[in-house]
């Protein structure tokens, strides 16, 4: 009888392998349901003893037989029955055993329950995020493949998603659901396994804490052609544990517990896989008891690429196991010692590239490998062992494929290679070192993706191809060849640019790459765009044109899918919203991995929250934006007047009281990004402007927090300008608190009580604090963690533009700059600090001065702040005082020692106005006057009096009960920077006993 076997590489099945007794050569003829089969791409080997089917189809269900003949006769085998069960998320009439699409199950687990060993469960497009089954009575699996069957999608991983669940409070915990559990010899093919998690690491590690994406009862369970993304394990295998993975993408997974190992995979066999951006660990300090194997821990890897993974201890790429024909590059360890900082630790490697990995916290040169056995490998420094080389492998831009001149070509060991390289191309003899074999024919490396707002208001599609140069590129949209026409540029290069994109640019993009040896065609990249316009005449889902645009940003987000773009035109968006946590409304919630971007930038497009009318932070408050999903991005908006609740989760800096303008998901694996934004006039308990997430190329101004982080709290800031933010308690980081700040300017932020005290960051007094600054301008720098910081006048002309003479020009680090500056201009190399890059040629056009100061009266020996407001693009400004002093900022403090009338001049310059445009004001400087107590009145329950105050003077109101010497004066009330005019003082503690009062005036604290 023929044997039926499911296969996992590639997924499908075979029938055959039966004993045959004949000394003569035989002919074989396979039949399905009585019809002769032919080789057709799906079926192969139809004229051999073993029939093979690549993948599975509903049409494969049926009865199979083989006829065998030779010169002595013919025999017909017994039959084999193939059973296929169907699953469709939108099924209308599910009926077990789900043998066709009209009766398909709507839940994968239901179809598995109806199947028998060696059956096939076929799943069509959809998101499968309900149902499940527990195999240990501890944790639920969204799908439990508890028998040796094949579960296969119809249209692949991009179209078919199995989604687990994170615990709502701790990621891993009692509410978590794993994506998939698999028994011995089970196979799953062609799915995205997303958003799964495990139980928390408590007590002895067990299977409920492992494999957030997929866990196998043995590594004879096979995962084929799957994307395993954004899953979490408390101990081992954030993406996968104890399975065999073939042709899979393992990306963005975490092993997060105190001893987390294998962010991507642990205790697995991996063949022809890409393992990238996975993490082992949680925090920023290495822990040698765990946090190992960012990409893979104790795994066997063959023909795999391992890049951009990280661990907080050793083995950021791989820890332990064996590796054959693998490439490991750009992996990062956070360990601070030589061995523990290595990208590969304690492993046996053959034919591998280990190059370009590093440790974030150490300067040790050997961060590529440690404690490894290596043969025929390319690594730095040169490893001991046979056949090793210590040369640059000359990888192309994707860090995966070899260039034509790579020293790794033909340098490998032949007797260890098997199968094909990571592109499916054959190995040469001798083979190359690494996961890629070099061939002349072109091959697409990483398939085309697109960047938004690069250049400003543009889309850039990039593809990386390998093969013999020169290579020629042909881009098409919706099957139509593209040409350079101003709107489209570089259509014959590897980087297509779509300028000033709009809804008409939505569609399907593809590139064909050719050379003298052949042609390679990329996969199709889809761009979906939903548009928003306050004045839309006919809002209609899916809001795909300006005439059918949504009038509310949240409406467009709700109809979008991950990867889509929401494009917003000019207006103040102050209505609508969504509640995520508790009872606080957010004007905009990005709850999926989409980009919300304005057409004309922050000055024209405003997301407006609301203050509670009584308390600012209170029950009537509305936050501007909540970036909930990993990969959510908000670009080119002003976020203003947002606020939060005043009570609820104050001790945890949670989502009810934190982030008046922007609250980002606090899970470190969920990185919301805001860019090219203005955050102004927002309030919260923690993080008046923003909390958590990443803020790029933005201005944070005039926000305040009652506790910590007036501008930003525990946020990564790149090229930001943070100024004039407040906290209501001292030493609490009015500018930033607990943040990592890079290429930024953080100045003029203050704690309000008891006086306006400079409080740019934590710490302010030269003590070690929680902020980390790199290549930034702030004051003070004493005791500040980080490197390459400066304490100088940044010469800011308005709220954020730099003078052409600013010491912050070119003082940043190119590693931290990304995108464009807040005006859409390209960063130079090295870039400037702050959100503005100074491009001298762009400093042109008309200039006009609007005003110079907030007031026209001052006191002797009292500093007055002057600020020049102007319109146009300035190269420099000068404030000139008639005592001969000048200031090269738009704002400056000045003090006069004598009363009188003084002239202050403000001049603005640019390329078109080299002589400048000027305006003057006259300041009336008065002496400090002795305050006179007036209108003394006895009220029903208190004594009251008043005095005439001068603007900006400080007043100290004191009382005593006895004027006999020595007099003991006590403080009743302090008034700093008084508003001037009549000030009334009440003393509710006054009784019938004698009580005396005095008022002192000063211009010093």
Residues 479-517: tens digit of each pLDDT? 999 999 999 999 999 999 999 999 999 999 999 999 999
977 or 579, higher pLDDT? 579
Chain mean position to CA 425: 34
Rounded percentage of the chain residues whose pLDDT exceeds 70? 95
Count of all residues that appear for the chain in the document: 1005
Query: Rounded CA gap, 475 and 481, in Å?
Result: 6
Look-up: residue for tokens 């390289």? 421
CB-CB contact of 381 with 290 (8 Å): no
DSSP 286-330: --TTS-B-SSEES-EEES-EEES-EESSS-SSEESSEEES-EEES
> Cβ neighbours of residue 945 under 8 Å, at least 6 residues apart?
933, 934, 935, 936, 937, 984, 985, 997
Q: Give the mean pLDDT of 813-821.
A: 93
Which of the four pLDDT bands, split at 50, 70 and 90, describes residue 753?
A: low
Q: Where does the pLDDT of residue 670 fall: very low under 50, low under 70, confident under 90, or very high at 90 and above?
A: confident
Q: Which of 276, 264, 263, 217 is nearest to 243 (CA)?
A: 217
Q: What does the pLDDT read at residue 18?
A: 66
**Cα(551)–Cα(957) distance, rounded to whole angstroms?**
55
CB atoms within 10 A of CB 348: 15
In angstroms, rounded to a whole number, what is the distance separating the alpha carbons of residues 577 and 589?
Answer: 7
Phi, psi of 548 (to 5 degrees): -115, 20
Q: Quick one: tokens of 901?
A: 């009338």
Q: Is the pLDDT of residue 22 over 80?
A: no
* Backbone φ/ψ region at 788: left (φ over 0), alpha (ψ -120 to 50), beta: left
pLDDT at residue 386, rounded to an integer: 97
pLDDT band at 988 (very low <50, low <70, confident <90, very high): confident
Does the pLDDT of residue 247 top 60, yes or no? yes
Give the per-residue pLDDT at 654. Answer: 84
Task: Identify the CA nearest to 902 among candidates 888, 917, 884, 887.
Answer: 884
Measuring CA to CA, which residue among 241, 192, 185 is closest to residue 212? Answer: 241
3-state DSSP call for residue 927?
coil
pLDDT in tens, 899-948: 999 999 999 999 999 999 999 999 999 999 999 998 887 776 788 899 99
Task: Give 732's contacts (C-beta < 8 A, 6+ positions apart).
Answer: 705, 707, 708, 709, 710, 751, 759, 762
Pairing of strands 458-462, 495-499: antiparallel
Stronger pLDDT, 989 or 719, i.e. the higher one: 719
Instruction: Please give the mean pLDDT across all residues of the chain.
Output: 91
List CB contacts of 797: < 8 A, sequence separation 6 or more: 803, 874, 876, 877, 889, 890
Residue 9, pLDDT score: 87
| pLDDT exceeds 90 at position 446 | no
Written as one string, the DSSP assignment of 61-106 is -EEEEEEEEETTEEEEPPPEEE-EEEE-TT-SS--TT--SGGG-BS
Q: Does 143 score more than 90 pLDDT? A: yes
Token pair in block for residue 749: 């932020």
**Residue keyed to tokens 């009251």:** 944
Token pair belonging to 931: 């305050």
Please tell me the predicted confidence (pLDDT) of residue 360.
66
Contact 946, 982 (CB under 8 A): yes
Q: Are strands 192-194 and 160-163 parallel, antiparallel or unpaired?
A: parallel
pLDDT computed for residue 283 by the predictor = 42
Q: Tally helices (H) and strands (E) across the chain.
A: 2, 101
Peptide bond into 381 cis (omega under 30): yes
- The yes-or-no verdict on residue 183 having pLDDT over 90 is yes
Bridge pairing between strands 690-691 and 662-664: parallel
DSSP state of 931: P
Arithmetic mean of pLDDT, 845-867: 86
R_g of the chain, CA atoms, integer Å: 34
Confidence of residue 284 (pLDDT cuts 50, 70, 90): very low
Give strand pairing partners of 236.
261
pLDDT confidence of residue 286: 35
In the structure, what pLDDT confidence band is assigned to residue 285 with cuts at 50, 70 and 90?
Answer: very low
Tokens found for residue 351: 């034919």
Instruction: Give pLDDT, residue 642.
Output: 98
Dist. CA 701–CA 963, nearest whole Å: 49
Q: Name the percent of the chain lying above pLDDT 90.
A: 77
pLDDT score of 333: 85
Burial class (CB in 10 A: 0-12, 13-18, 19+), 304: buried
pLDDT at 730 over 90: no
Q: How many other CB atoms sit within 10 Å of the CB of residue 571?
A: 17
- Over residues 548-600, the pLDDT tens digits come to 999 999 999 999 998 999 999 999 999 999 999 888 999 999 999 999 999 99
- The three-state secondary structure class of 590 is strand
Instruction: Quote the tokens at residue 574.
Output: 């102050």
Chain Cα centroid distance, residue 54: 37
For the stretch 297-307, pLDDT in tens is: 999 999 999 99
Check residue 339 and give left, alpha or beta (phi > 0: left; psi -120 to 50: alpha). Answer: alpha
pLDDT for 941 equals 72
Please give the helix or strand (H or E) that residue 556 lies within, else none.
Answer: helix 553-559
Q: What is the pLDDT of residues 685-702, one digit of tens each?
A: 999 999 999 999 999 999
pLDDT of residue 1: 67
C-alpha torsion angle, residues 566, 568, 573, 577 (rounded to 10): -10
DSSP single-letter state for residue 186: -
DSSP string, 667-708: STT---EEES-EEES-EEEE-SSEESSEEES-EEES-EEEEE
pLDDT at 857: 83
- Report residue 568 as tokens: 């917003």
- Among 174-188, 357-371, 771-785, the range of highest mean pLDDT: 174-188
Give the pLDDT score at 363. 45
Q: Quick one: pLDDT band at residue 437, thresholds 50, 70, 90? A: very high
Instruction: Please state the rounded mean pLDDT for residues 267-274.
Output: 97
pLDDT at 289 exceeding the cut of 60: no
pLDDT tens by residue, 82-108: 999 999 999 999 999 999 999 999 999
Question: What tens digit of pLDDT does each residue of 772-795 get?
Answer: 999 999 999 987 888 999 999 999
- Please determine, for residue 335, whether its predicted confidence score (pLDDT) is greater than 70: no
pLDDT of 282: 58
What is d(CA 592, CA 320) in angstroms, rounded to the nearest whole number? 36
What is the pLDDT at residue 567?
A: 98
List of E strands, 371-487: 373-375, 378-379, 443-444, 449-452, 458-462, 465-466, 472-477, 480-481
């Amino acid at each position: 009888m023929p044997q039926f076997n499911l296969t996992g590489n590639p997924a499908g099945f075979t029938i055959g392998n039966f004993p045959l007794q004949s000394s003569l050569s035989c002919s074989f003829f396979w039949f399905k349901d009585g019809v002769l089969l032919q080789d057709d791409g799906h079926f192969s080997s139809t004229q051999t003893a073993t029939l093979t089917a690549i993948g599975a189809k509903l049409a494969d269900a049926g009865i199979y037989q083989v006829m065998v003949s030779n010169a002595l006769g013919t025999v017909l085998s017994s039959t084999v029955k193939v059973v296929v069960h169907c699953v469709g998320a939108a099924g209308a009439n599910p009926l077990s055993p789900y043998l066709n699409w009209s009766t398909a199950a709507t839940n994968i687990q239901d179809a598995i329950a109806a199947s028998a060993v060696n059956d096939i469960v076929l799943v069509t497009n959809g998101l499968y995020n309900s149902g499940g089954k527990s195999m240990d009575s501890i944790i639920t699996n969204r799908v439990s493949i508890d028998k040796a069957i094949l579960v296969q999608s119809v249209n692949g991983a991009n179209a078919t998603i199995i989604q687990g669940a994170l615990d709502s409070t701790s990621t891993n915990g009692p509410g978590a659901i794993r994506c998939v559990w698999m028994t011995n010899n089970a196979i799953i093919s062609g799915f995205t396994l997303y958003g799964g998690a495990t139980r928390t690491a408590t007590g002895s590690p067990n299977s409920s804490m492992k494999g957030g994406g997929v866990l196998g009862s043995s590594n004879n369970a096979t995962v084929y052609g799957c994307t395993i993304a954004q899953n979490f394990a408390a101990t081992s295998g954030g993406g996968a544990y104890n399975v065999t993975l073939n042709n899979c993408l393992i990306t963005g997974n975490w092993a997060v517990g105190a001893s987390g190992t294998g962010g991507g995979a642990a205790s697995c066999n991996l063949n022809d896989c890409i393992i990238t951006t996975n993490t082992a660990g949680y925090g920023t300090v290495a822990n040698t008891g765990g946090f190992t194997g960012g990409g893979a821990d104790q795994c066997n890897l063959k023909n795999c690429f391992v890049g951009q993974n990280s661990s907080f201890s050793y083995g950021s790429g791989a820890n332990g196991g064996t590796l054959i024909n693998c490439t490991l590059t750009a992996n990062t360890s956070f360990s601070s010692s030589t061995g523990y900082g290595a990208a590969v630790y304690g492993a046996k490697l053959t034919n591998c590239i280990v190059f370009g990995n590093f440790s974030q916290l150490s300067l040790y040169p050997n961060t590529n490998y440690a404690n490894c056995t290596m043969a025929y490998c390319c690594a730095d420094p040169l490893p001991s062992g046979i056949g090793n080389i210590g040369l640059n492998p000359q990888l192309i831009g994707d860090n995966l494929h070899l260039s034509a001149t790579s020293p790794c070509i033909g340098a490998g060991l032949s007797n260890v290679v098997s199968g094909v390289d990571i592109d499916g191309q054959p190995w040469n003899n001798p083979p190359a070192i690494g996961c890629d074999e070099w061939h002349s024919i072109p091959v697409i490396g990483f398939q085309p993706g697109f960047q938004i707002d690069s250049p400003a208001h543009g889309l850039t599609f990039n593809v990386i191809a390998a093969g013999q140069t020169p290579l020629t590129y042909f881009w098409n949209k919706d099957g139509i060849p593209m040409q350079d026409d101003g709107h489209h540029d570089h259509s014959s290069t590897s980087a297509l640019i779509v300028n000033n994109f709009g809804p008409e640019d939505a569609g399907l993009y593809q590139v064909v790459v050719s050379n003298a040896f052949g042609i390679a065609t990329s996969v199709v990249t889809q761009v979906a765009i939903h548009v928003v316009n306050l004045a839309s005449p006919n809002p209609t889902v899916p809001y795909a044109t300006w005439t059918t645009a949504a009038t509310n940003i949240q409406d467009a987000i709700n109809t979008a899918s991950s990867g889509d773009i929401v494009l917003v035109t000019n207006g103040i968006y102050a209505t609508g919203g969504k509640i995520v946590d508790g009872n606080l409304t957010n004007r905009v919630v990005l709850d999926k991995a989409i980009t919300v971007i304005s057409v004309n930038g922050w000055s024209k497009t405003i997301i407006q929250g609301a203050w509670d009318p009584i308390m600012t932070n209170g029950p009537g408050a509305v936050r501007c934006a909540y970036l909930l999903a990993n990969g959510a991005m908000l670009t080119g908006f002003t976020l203003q007047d947002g606020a939060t609740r005043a009570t609820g989760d104050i001790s945890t800096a949670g989502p009810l009281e934190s982030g008046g303008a922007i609250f980002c998901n606090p899970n470190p694996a969920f990185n919301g990004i805001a860019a090219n934004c203005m955050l102004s006039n927002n309030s919260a308990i923690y993080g008046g402007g923003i909390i958590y997430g990443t803020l790029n190329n933005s201005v944070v101004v005039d926000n305040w927090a009652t506790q910590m982080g007036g501008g930003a709290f525990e946020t990564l800031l790149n090229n930001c300008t943070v100024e004039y933010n407040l906290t209501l308690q001292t030493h609490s980081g009015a500018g930033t608190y607990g943040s990592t700040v890079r290429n930024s300017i953080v100045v003029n932020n203050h704690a309000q009580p008891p006086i306006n005290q400079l409080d740019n960051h934590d710490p302010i007094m030269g003590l070690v604090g929680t902020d980390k600054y790199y290549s930034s301008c702030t004051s003070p720098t004493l005791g500040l963690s980080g490197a390459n910081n400066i304490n100088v006048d940044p010469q800011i002309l308005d709220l954020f533009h730099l003078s052409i003479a600013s010491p912050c020009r070119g003082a940043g680090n190119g590693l931290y700059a990304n995108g464009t500056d807040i005006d859409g201009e390209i960063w130079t190399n090295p870039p400037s600090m702050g959100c503005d890059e100074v491009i001298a040629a762009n400093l042109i056009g008309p200039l006009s001065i609007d005003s110079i100061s907030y007031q026209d009266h001052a006191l002797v020996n009292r500093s007055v702040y002057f600020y020049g407001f102007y319109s146009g693009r300035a190269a420099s400004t000068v404030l000139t005082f008639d005592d001969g002093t000048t200031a090269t900022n738009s704002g400056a403090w000045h003090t006069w020692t004598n009363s009188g009338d003084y002239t202050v001049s403000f001049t603005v310059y640019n390329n078109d106005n080299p002589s400048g445009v000027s305006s003057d004001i006259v300041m009336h400087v008065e002496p400090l006057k002795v305050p006179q107590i007036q209108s003394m009145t006895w009220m029903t329950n208190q004594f009251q009096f008043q005095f005439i105050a001068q603007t900006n003077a400080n007043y100290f109101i004191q009382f005593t009960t006895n004027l006999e010497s020595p007099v003991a004066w006590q403080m009743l009330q302090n008034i700093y920077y008084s508003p001037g005019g009549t000030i009334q003082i009440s003393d509710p503690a006054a009784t019938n006993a004698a009580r005396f009062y005095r008022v002192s005036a000063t211009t010093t604290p």
